[in-house]
Structure 1
Amino acid sequence: MARDLSVLVPFTVIFFGLISTGIESQGTKTFTIVNNCKETVWPGITHGENFNGSGFALKPGQSAVYTAPAGWGGRIWGRTGCSFDGSGHGTCQTGGCGTSINCTGPGSPPASIAEFTLGEVDFYDVSLVDGFNLPIIVIPMKGKENCTTVGCDGDLRKNCPSELRLNSSGKVIACRSACDVFNTDEYCCRGMFGDATTCHPSNYSRTFKSVCPVAYSYAYDDPTSIKTCTGAEYVVSFCSSRNETVCSYHNNTLSCNTPNSASTTFGRRGIVALALALLLVLSLYS
């Protein structure tokens, strides 16, 4: 029972902020961010080239709602192994974006990154070009046209080549990119390798692609990685399967997809917790 109550807390706090500030203005987009990992994740959020962004902690099983303005373009990723003091200052083992819980810079590699460019047509993808630290998927909800799930639900830390491994206390905590490790033009797709005709997948990027077939494995891995959608809200979920039930909050309603596979722990317990929190908050504001 204590676990269920702890799941309710972040929903309630976040819904208070969203409802009281009027998030449902025209043109905004809702992102439901879910932590299905067995460890706490600190999502990082940055807007385009303006790296002053957001950040917060999600314990296992918790979710949060982030609302982006019309035309938003940016990144969402997970930071791991973080330690922040009461003032929100600290560091992370992977994905750090400065020395604050709210990002003051881009995410440091290695990090698995969800990327978005929102407009009349949304473009979205999951990139492993900067390496891998967590499984992450993006699921469009209520979208039009060919809106498909992207990302990596495999764990590259288990398959990471020894020369790319980032270790801590005898444990592989992330898989670095070949560019980050070797810093050559060929691996980094720059210089004479700086376009799609000369930059080709390496043995390392092929390893990434074999585990994560619908995520960017190198800079010009566009055809199988970037997707488009119109009119969708998005779920960004860490350590989740591409086939499980997920939910999104929008216009005071809770919407869930219905994949063929059975719901996971979040799909059942998380749906109930999110619904109860929503009803609680709406009753307070009615």
Structure 2
Amino acid sequence: MAISSAFFTHWFVLLVMASGIRLSKCTNFTIINYCKETIWPGITAGKNFTGGGFALKPTQSAIFTAPSGWSGRIWARTGCNFDKNENGTCQTGGCGSTLKCTEPGKPPASIAEFTLGDTDYYDVSLVDGFNLPIVVKPVSGKGNCQPAGCDSDLRPSCPPELTIKTNDKIIACQSACNAFKTDEYCCKGAFSTPIACVPTNYSRIFKTACPAAYSFAYDDPTSIITCSATDYIVTFCSSRNQTECTYHDKKLTCNGSNGGLKALSKMWKLWVMALPAAISFPVMF
């Protein structure tokens, strides 16, 4: 059976992490694309970090290492077209006119938000709308380290008044705030308090499909999750129950069932045997 270069890329990335590259007080993010099309993950700038951006083809992964105290966002840009100088535009999630993000992501976009410290805070937000399923999974952390995210595709069921289309294809679902720009939907003015800003029919659609994500500004605070001493796996177009593996503290660590671990063991043996071929493929960071 043929094994794709993307497979080697992903597992070679794990080998790099196994070598001990994880730095003290830094946090590793393994970003994986399970979508059927290429995406361009966006990463916002933060403390001691100038921003980032890169392309991931289907099944490819990359490692992003965040410095201590980093606070920022990770999301997917779609439908991008960059020239040889890395200048260009995207259909959704654009963050400036270059491959490396220079601005916050433009709505609508599904966003993973992080604040790193002795205790990390993270969530997935649909407050700015939805463009792709996104899931965040902590790796062997301490505390209430639960997966966060939205593994449903909201585009097919998006209300017509919220849809964003290109060539008659729905590419994103706007939030009611971005679509209508009223104080009620944007939790502004007279609606700027948790008591006055309540769920709407539109935010309920998002919440029903994605209960582990923020659907509006004053959504259930349990959508924010805390964890410490961990790395993170951020996946696009996957499931919260899907087994994911990466290296954490020089050990191969997986989320999910024992069945997933057995499957990984078989894949790991394959990868070790194929290691000489793997090193010829590019590794993205």
TM-score, normalising length from structure 2? 0.87
Provide the residue aligned with 1:211 in structure 2. Answer: 209
C-alpha distance 266-176 of structure 1, shift in aligned 2 (>3 A) = farther
Asked if 1:250 is matched to 2:248, the reply is yes
Matches of 1:79 and 1:266, distance apart in 2: 29
Cα shift readout 1:99-149 (whole Å, capped 9, x = no counterpart)? 111001000000000000011111000000000000000001101122101
Asked if 1:71 is matched to 2:66, the reply is no
> Pairwise mapping of residues 24-43 of structure 1 onto structure 2 (< 5 A)?
24-43=22-41
2:235 partner letter? S
2:5 partner letter? L
Provide the residue aligned with 1:92 in structure 2. Answer: 90
Runs of 5+ consecutive residues of structure 2 not aligned to the other structure? 280-285
1:115 partner letter? E
Percent identical: 56
Matches of 1:138 and 1:222, distance apart in 2: 18
- Do the aligned residues in 2 keep the contact of 1:4 with 1:273 (CA within 8 Å)? no
Q: CA deviation at 1:261?
A: 6.9
Runs of 5+ consecutive residues of structure 1 not aligned to the other structure? 282-286
Q: CA deviation at 1:259?
A: 2.7
> Pairwise mapping of residues 191-202 of structure 1 onto structure 2 (< 5 A)?
191-202=189-200
Cα shift readout 1:27-60 (whole Å, capped 9, x = no counterpart)? 0111110111111111101134899410101111
C-alpha distance 13-256 of structure 1, shift in aligned 2 (>3 A) = closer
Aligned-residue CA RMSD (Å): 3.0
Q: CA deviation at 1:13?
A: 7.6
- Do the aligned residues in 2 keep the contact of 1:254 with 1:275 (CA within 8 Å)? no
Provide the residue aligned with 1:155 in structure 2. Answer: 153
1:97 partner letter? C
- Do the aligned residues in 2 keep the contact of 1:126 with 1:152 (CA within 8 Å)? yes
Count of residue pairs the alignment pairs up = 278
Asked if 1:83 is matched to 2:118, the reply is no
Give the secondary structure class of the aligned counterpart of 1:99: coil
1:5 partner letter? S
Cα shift readout 1:64-110 (whole Å, capped 9, x = no counterpart)? 11111111111000011111111111111000101111001000000
Matches of 1:140 and 1:173, distance apart in 2: 28
Cα shift readout 1:224-282 (whole Å, capped 9, x = no counterpart)? 3111111111110001111111012234443212336758x99976996599669966x
Aligned partner (choices 139, 146, 161) of residue 141 of structure 1: 139
